[in-house]
Amino acid sequence: EVVYHFATAQWGKGLATELARASLRFGFEERSFDRIVAVAKPKNAASIHVMEKLGMHYEMHTSYYSIEVIQYEIRREEFKPENSTYRLKI
């Protein structure tokens, strides 16, 4: 599970996209997940945009810890990792 919150001054700099892309890459390449899901509040257009930019697609409206969210998903074969700059440190 990855949760991110950025100070308003950091919005619009691509940080959420890079963090999410690196998380997807880690999940698929290092943990061999077949599928990864992400959730956001329905009114959070910026987070929805990040999920869609990464190739995720809408799956359903659901509840997450009693909070209404929309769920997006991506499968390993759909993910395009070429733009992620993450480095795994063990």
Q: What is the per-residue pLDDT across 9-37, written as a single tens digit (0 to 9) for each?
A: 988 888 888 889 989 999 998 899 999 99
pTM: 0.82
Q: What is the pLDDT of residue 5?
A: 83
Q: What is the mean pLDDT of the chain?
A: 88
Q: Residue 39 forms beta bridges with which residues?
A: 71
In angstroms, what CA-CA distances link 44 with 4, 31, 40, 50, 78?
Answer: 13, 28, 6, 10, 24
Q: What is the pLDDT of residue 90?
A: 54
Asked whether the beta carbons of 41 and 69 are under 8 A apart, the reply is: yes
Residue 67: helix, strand or coil by DSSP?
A: strand
CATH number for the segment(s) 8-78: 3.40.630.30
Residue 36: helix, strand or coil by DSSP?
A: strand
φ/ψ of residue 63, rounded to 5: -120, 135
Q: What is the pLDDT of residues 78-89, one digit of tens each?
A: 988 766 666 656
Q: What is the pLDDT of residue 4?
A: 80
